[in-house]
Chains A and B, each alone.
Chain A
Amino acid sequence: MNKTLASAIIAACALASVSCDDEIRWETGGDTPVSSEFAGMYILCEGLYNMNNSLLAYYDFTSGTMLSFQDPGMGGADKTSHDFFKMVNGRRLGDTANDLQRYGSKLWCVVNVSSQVEVMDLHSGRSLAQIGLFGDDGAGRQPRNIAFSGSKAYVCNFDGTVAMIDTASLAVERLATVGRNPDGLCVAAGKLYVSNSGGLDEANPDNTVSVIDLTTFTETRRITVGYNPGAIGADEAGNLYVVSRGRYDYASGEYDCRLHRIDTGTDTVAATLDVPVMNFCIAGGRAYMYSYGSGREAIKVMDTATGEIIDESFVKDGTTFTNAYEIAVNPYTGDVYVADAQNYTVNGTVTCFGQDGRRKFTIDACGINPNSIVFVGDEVQPGSGGGGTGGGDEGFFIDRVFDYTPGAGQFVNQLPPYTPGDDAAAMRAKCLDRLSRGQLVSLGGFGGTITVGMSRPIENKEGARDFRVLGNAIDGSAEPGIVMVSRDDNGNGLPDDEWYELRGSEYDNPATLRRYSVTYHRPAADTDPVRWTDDMGGEGYIERTIHPQSFYPGWLTADSYTLTGSRLPDNGIWDEAAGVWDMTAYAYGYADNLPNSGEGSCMDIDWAVDADGEAVRLDAVDFVRIYTAVNQQIPSGLLGELSTEVAGIVPVD
């Protein structure tokens, strides 16, 4: 009897445990791309509602890995976590993080259900502030998306407000009232545009875009568009597009999407395009747009200037998506990245396409619902500690642009873009905006200049270099600019005090000319070269290149203008052997001369000399001026004139 019983029990157990192995096919995480063109990317994964599982991952393109750590807070044996935010800050991001943007040296993350704006240091991911957005009743305002202009961040909240946050003090300064459930916002033509979705009223969605005057920070107008507007964005020329998703059709299970183009001059709808767009991003005058669904034609490319679809099917190699959730263009490479949310409940993926529409790689996003990607250049190296390029100083950034007068040049009116009607002040604001994002401002030909102020003075460290001027120099492509500094001796906050030149390696070069002036003359037609004359009887032209716009600053009313400074010897040399122009770098002490990552981009305040060439001792400086110090035209259709480009100033650690 007992034997029978025992065998019965064994049989029963065996029946159940047959093939109880885990036959799970674990995903390996896809490809392991590396790149030398940029450092890495942040991927924000919003997680699922009420699960507190928003996650910020960082993919390091130098090592080809998603950064991870061992999180003691995790259950089970395998405690490997890819939550970069938790790795750095020891805590989680919160619930339903909706947006991630880079501005200056900071990374801003909007966490919707937690009702927080998390401000991080771009370089390290370290949290600088957690800005709670709550109403008087204690309920979260549900922040949704963020945009920036000058020294302010603007956050739209589902409660029908836009919060203005000072990017230096990180305090919420004001709230403006807009329509229902604002879902997207962007700055264009000096105004803030907010798409009011009204998405929480299924039966009666909103159908307007609010226009907010940034000086008064009040709503000045509502533009009627289609129902349930969402994604909104503008190109650098101020061409503004907004998606309206329409009413959800229960029968077909489809949205009825439209793309509206808004004229920012008249603030009216200029055109409505019947294209099924759910979301888009704009880069280089092109909008990359996707619609829901997984079809190969899911991504279209539109020329933002004309509103014409120039590529109905961007993806050329047959790659498909399950549920595209975000699209972004890598500013360092021009590659197009698409985040795929898969079935919205498992980890998503990020796929990279070249401009040729062919897939380069796919990686696991390491979180649920990847919705934002921020690319980081090699000026920043998260987690690299002291070896970085001075990114750890969150309190320091350019917060004022006092003057921007470029020499004529092929990037003038483009970096930053000039829109008819812009005056010098508008252009200064655009410069500040670009510098805050780490984007390039072009100073054009010889003498072209920019003068900036910083959130706090740059200290002169004993025996060490003090600050780094960021540009786009690489080996063989130096466009040196002279750096000048000034201290606010009279304390009025204006750069009207004495200026000192930083004595670079060519200061004593006999070929360097002091107090050299160049005058630029307005061309008869926008497409003509710009003639210049100098005070030594010389003359020449800023020759046309492939760039179509006028090379003469559009906002200057005078028909000619003169710029003065020290002129360094020409550094562009024809390399007979290689058959290329080599724009050689000088040894030290110039902007846009040596790569950002090395010591060559670092300046020492101890180099300061007065007008007579006497060294001066400054314990700190408040203002920095940079001007193009070479007057050379490269006779090649692509390279054009030598023009210094500036992308920012950061202190050296």
Chain B
Amino acid sequence: MNRPAALLLASCLALPALPSEVADSVRTVGIDAVTVTADRRAKDLRAAVPTQALDAAEMRSLGALQLSDAVKMMGGAIIKDYGGIGGLKTVSVRSLGAAHTGVVLDGVPVTDAQTGQIDLGRFALDGVENITLSGGQEDGILMSARQYASASTLAIKTARPTFTGKAVNIAASVKGGSFGFVNPSLRLDGHLGERLALSVSGDYTHVRGDYPYRQDNGNATVERRRENSDIDSWHVETNLFGSFDGGRELTAKAYYYASERGLPTNILYNEFAGQRLWDRNFFLQGKYTRRYGHRWALSATGKWNRSYNRYYDPVVYNAKGYDDERYRQDEGYVSAAVSYRPLECLSLSLATDGIVNAMNATLHEFAVPVRYTLLNVLAARYVHERLTVSASVLSTATHETVHRGVAAPGRHRLSPAVSLSAKPFGGEDFRIRLMYKDVFRLPTFNDLYYGTVGTRTLLPEKAMQLDGGITWMKLPRGWVSRWSVTADAFYNRVTDKIVAVPTKNLFIWSMMNIGRVDVKGVETTAEIQFDFPGRVAATVSGSYTWQRALDKTSSTEMPYKATFNHQIPYTPRHSGSVRAAITMPWVNLGWTMVASGERYCNQYNSPEYRLDGYCEHNLTAWREFTVRAVRLKVQAEVLNVGGGNYEVVKNYPMPGRQLRAGVVVNY
């Protein structure tokens, strides 16, 4: 602990003495959406680490409601979807597993120390300016250390209010759709003096979710309805944006989310489903950045998070006759980062994060763990017209205590990363990129302490990533105004993979570090943009990923039926998506397709565990009207146009055809 502590101290002492300058904040006032998209795409292509982004306009053309709807369009991302709006949705990027994907909301990580994975279904896309999925860290250098700590990062950026001669903005929307979907939302933006803007938003979602599906069972196949699949969720958020003289920026957020949902089942010959889940999450976060002249910048971030889950099963044949378990997590987080630019083309940064995670649960003899994490990162970045090189090394140190039993030992590791982007041919916007990154994830509290399952001696799960690829963009004249392609080959290796293994019997599973997965694959994306006469524009883009994520767990662990070289569960060899949007003066249309090849639902790839591939199409149409100062947007969507029930996760059927319509009023 001594060395990281010293670093933290040093960086804190160094901060006040720094000179200052304002950075240009990303203000998009009055800029045409298409231009923004083009700029953003160009920026993504320059990145040395594979980066994909979608902005608000693109997400609108997808008909996306939840964050997961947008992420599943991205190359290399495999969404594990338990079906329906209330079903858990997690993302695994390039087969590393959901726990290796960090979610960052407005620059501050959203975490769950209990499960290590974030439900992407709970983030609505209203008021989101863009989302970015990057195979490594984002390219900005002034980042918290924690943003270097995930194998890949999904960043969500909330739209910053803009005021065109008004004191107040009002946005109200209501959406409705199949299976009892209702979703009203309201957002108010206002000035607080010259320098501050305040935004308050809230939304409510109700879904009955009782969609019909076919339960395949040979000649006893039945049409069933998804029972106990309802969800009610509330979300309220307040954002404060401040820009001050002297290059000072402040953002702060207060966030509250609450939901209650049913957990459906799909058991043959038994339709009973009564389990309920409640989630509550509240956090406060703030971020302050200041630039001192051209060379120095610093940022400070703080967050306090509390989340609460309750799981209720009305019929359990224990002494009580039911299960009612509650879980509470607290997280305190502070981060300080400083960057220095000794040369025009070279930046250095140092960031220190301190995190405290605590968890309590009503489980029998629960350990009540507290984890202290200290992260330090030193990063350097060289930027030249023809060459960008980034390198970083992250140090992670943890210490854990428990109220009961034995705590997991502390861990200390260094995680290096290097990336490079070169533009070898003068005027041609053709780049070659290379990346190496070696990070890990800590075992979650569930991995370590959950009843008989948890294993306190677990080692961190390591994820090594190698990527090599090209990007190429052209801005020709004529109807095709822009096209771009990317192609990457990657090799990932997960070692000490944490897997649940039944030990004594089927009732006693334990977490063990026995797995190893080697992933090799190719990920390609392409985008083409048309500008037709008569204010008609179109964009077509697609992604295709081929990956072999093979279980390389030693066959000595499993002498019979070794799963060595079998594709890991729920990982298709082929996956891809296509989206097309056409904007016209009278109406805008969008079409998306997400396709997945065959997968296996078991680690042993025999025919009986094979899941068919699927292909889902969505159609969207929308139009904006302006009546004086009021902008009105009307949107209609048909989701899963083909209407077939498919399964992403075995026994969790997805809904068939759904209709959705909404209206948004902006003042």
For A200, what are the chain B residues with a Cβ–Cβ distance below 8 Å?
316-318
- Inter-chain CA distance A412–B472, complex, in Å, is 92
- Inter-chain CA distance A141–B503, complex, in Å, is 27
Does chain B have a CB within 8 A of A525?
no
- Pick from A52, A202, A345: contact of B651, CB below 8 A: A52
- Inter-chain CA distance A369–B650, complex, in Å, is 18
For A94, what are the chain B residues with a Cβ–Cβ distance below 8 Å?
267-270
B521 touches A292 (CB 8 A): no
- Pick from A75, A79, A159, A278: contact of B611, CB below 8 A: A75
Does chain B have a CB within 8 A of A17?
yes
Q: Which of B167-175, B191-199, B488-496 contacts A (4 or more CB under 8 A)?
A: B488-496
B266 touches A345 (CB 8 A): no
For B271, what are the chain A residues with a Cβ–Cβ distance below 8 Å?
138
A20-B520, A27-B560 known; A79+B607 contact, CB < 8 A: yes
CB neighbors of B among A299-342 (8 A): 322-323, 340-342
B610 touches A75 (CB 8 A): yes
B491 touches A75 (CB 8 A): no
* B504 CB, min distance to chain A CBs, angstroms: 5
A51-B650, A76-B610 known; A115+B522 contact, CB < 8 A: no
- Inter-chain CA distance A51–B603, complex, in Å, is 14
- Inter-chain CA distance A49–B270, complex, in Å, is 13
* B602 CB, min distance to chain A CBs, angstroms: 7
A90 touches B270 (CB 8 A): no
- Inter-chain CA distance A139–B275, complex, in Å, is 11
B548 touches A90 (CB 8 A): no
Does chain B have a CB within 8 A of A73?
yes
A140-B272, A180-B318 known; A90+B470 contact, CB < 8 A: no
- Inter-chain CA distance A50–B612, complex, in Å, is 19
A15 touches B489 (CB 8 A): yes
For B561, what are the chain A residues with a Cβ–Cβ distance below 8 Å?
27, 342-343, 346-347
* B135 CB, min distance to chain A CBs, angstroms: 14
B607 touches A12 (CB 8 A): no
* B226 CB, min distance to chain A CBs, angstroms: 15
Does chain A have a CB within 8 A of B39?
no
- Pick from A1, A71, A278, A349: contact of B428, CB below 8 A: A1
- Inter-chain CA distance A47–B155, complex, in Å, is 39
- Inter-chain CA distance A94–B215, complex, in Å, is 12
Q: Which of A248-256, A488-496, A508-516, A545-553 contacts B (4 or more CB under 8 A)?
A: A248-256
B508 touches A248 (CB 8 A): yes
For A138, what are the chain B residues with a Cβ–Cβ distance below 8 Å?
271-272
B270 touches A140 (CB 8 A): yes
A12-B487, A201-B318 known; A49+B506 contact, CB < 8 A: yes
For A81, what are the chain B residues with a Cβ–Cβ distance below 8 Å?
607-608
B220 touches A202 (CB 8 A): no
- Inter-chain CA distance A140–B273, complex, in Å, is 10
Q: Which of B97-105, B375-383, B562-570 contacts A (4 or more CB under 8 A)?
A: B562-570
For A50, what are the chain B residues with a Cβ–Cβ distance below 8 Å?
265, 267, 651
B267 touches A113 (CB 8 A): yes
For B521, what are the chain A residues with a Cβ–Cβ distance below 8 Å?
16
Q: Which of A129-137, A466-474, A607-615 contacts B (4 or more CB under 8 A)?
A: A129-137
A12 touches B469 (CB 8 A): yes
CB neighbors of A among B521-576 (8 A): 521-522, 546, 548, 555, 557-566
For A73, what are the chain B residues with a Cβ–Cβ distance below 8 Å?
216-218
- Inter-chain CA distance A114–B215, complex, in Å, is 14
For A90, what are the chain B residues with a Cβ–Cβ distance below 8 Å?
218-220
CB neighbors of A among B567-613 (8 A): 598, 601-608, 610-612
* A95 CB, min distance to chain B CBs, angstroms: 5
Does chain B have a CB within 8 A of A149?
no
A200-B318, A203-B364 known; A346+B602 contact, CB < 8 A: yes
For A202, what are the chain B residues with a Cβ–Cβ distance below 8 Å?
364, 451-452
* A215 CB, min distance to chain B CBs, angstroms: 28
Does chain B have a CB within 8 A of A78?
yes
A139 touches B563 (CB 8 A): no
Task: Across the interface, name the chain B residue whose C-beta is closest to A130.
Answer: B269
* A515 CB, min distance to chain B CBs, angstroms: 58
* A611 CB, min distance to chain B CBs, angstroms: 54
A22 touches B267 (CB 8 A): no
**Prevailing SS type, chain A contact patch:** loop
For B364, what are the chain A residues with a Cβ–Cβ distance below 8 Å?
202-203
Does chain A have a CB within 8 A of B365?
yes
B269 touches A346 (CB 8 A): no
Contact with B along A71-111 (1 / 0, CB 8 A): 10111101111010010011111110000000000000001
Does chain A have a CB within 8 A of B468?
yes
Contact with B along A361-376 (1 / 0, CB 8 A): 0000000010000000
B268 touches A114 (CB 8 A): yes
- Inter-chain CA distance A83–B268, complex, in Å, is 16
B607 touches A23 (CB 8 A): no
For A135, what are the chain B residues with a Cβ–Cβ distance below 8 Å?
315
B610 touches A74 (CB 8 A): yes
Query: What interface size band does chain B fall in?
Result: 35 or more
Does chain A have a CB within 8 A of B2?
no
- Inter-chain CA distance A469–B270, complex, in Å, is 41
B468 touches A114 (CB 8 A): no
Highest count of chain B CB atoms <10 Å: which of A15, A20, A137: A15
A204 touches B488 (CB 8 A): no
Does chain A have a CB within 8 A of B432?
yes
Does chain A have a CB within 8 A of B25?
no
A1-B428, A5-B472 known; A134+B560 contact, CB < 8 A: no
Task: Across the interface, name the chain A residue whose C-beta is closest to B521.
Answer: A16
CB neighbors of B among A529-580 (8 A): none
- Pick from B219, B405, B502, B522: contact of A17, CB below 8 A: B522
For B470, what are the chain A residues with a Cβ–Cβ distance below 8 Å?
5, 8-9, 12
Does chain A have a CB within 8 A of B35?
no
Contact with A along B420-444 (1 / 0, CB 8 A): 0000110010101000000000000
Task: Across the interface, name the chain B residue whose C-beta is closest to A46.
Answer: B506
* A502 CB, min distance to chain B CBs, angstroms: 43
A322 touches B559 (CB 8 A): yes
B267 touches A344 (CB 8 A): no
Contact with A along B631-667 (1 / 0, CB 8 A): 0000000000000000000110000000000000000
- Inter-chain CA distance A53–B563, complex, in Å, is 19
Task: Across the interface, name the chain B residue whose C-beta is closest to A159.
Answer: B317
- Pick from B267, B430, B565, B608: contact of A23, CB below 8 A: B565
CB neighbors of A among B477-522 (8 A): 487-491, 501-508, 510, 520-522
* A134 CB, min distance to chain B CBs, angstroms: 7
Does chain B have a CB within 8 A of A436?
no
A91 touches B468 (CB 8 A): no
Does chain A have a CB within 8 A of B274?
yes
A16-B491, A90-B219, A181-B317 known; A75+B598 contact, CB < 8 A: yes
Does chain B have a CB within 8 A of A160?
yes
Does chain B have a CB within 8 A of A158?
yes
A253 touches B317 (CB 8 A): no
Contact with B along A5-48 (1 / 0, CB 8 A): 10011001101111010111101000000000000000000000
- Inter-chain CA distance A8–B603, complex, in Å, is 35
For B315, what are the chain A residues with a Cβ–Cβ distance below 8 Å?
135, 137, 139
Q: A12-B470, A76-B610 are in contact. List 5 more A-B contacts (CB 8 A).
A: A180-B317, A199-B507, A322-B560, A342-B560, A349-B560
Q: Can you offer 27 A-B residue contacts whose CB atoms are under 8 A?
A: A9-B487, A12-B522, A15-B489, A17-B546, A18-B520, A25-B564, A50-B267, A53-B608, A71-B218, A73-B218, A75-B598, A79-B607, A81-B607, A90-B218, A91-B218, A94-B268, A114-B268, A114-B269, A114-B270, A139-B314, A198-B319, A250-B405, A253-B503, A255-B504, A292-B504, A342-B561, A347-B604
Give the interface of B toward A (CB within 8 A): 216-220, 265-272, 274, 314-319, 364-365, 405, 424-425, 428, 430, 432, 451-452, 468-470, 472, 487-491, 501-508, 510, 520-522, 546, 548, 555, 557-566, 598, 601-608, 610-612, 650-651
Minimum-distance CB pairs A-B, first 9? A91-B220, A90-B219, A16-B489, A344-B502, A139-B315, A346-B561, A75-B612, A200-B318, A346-B604
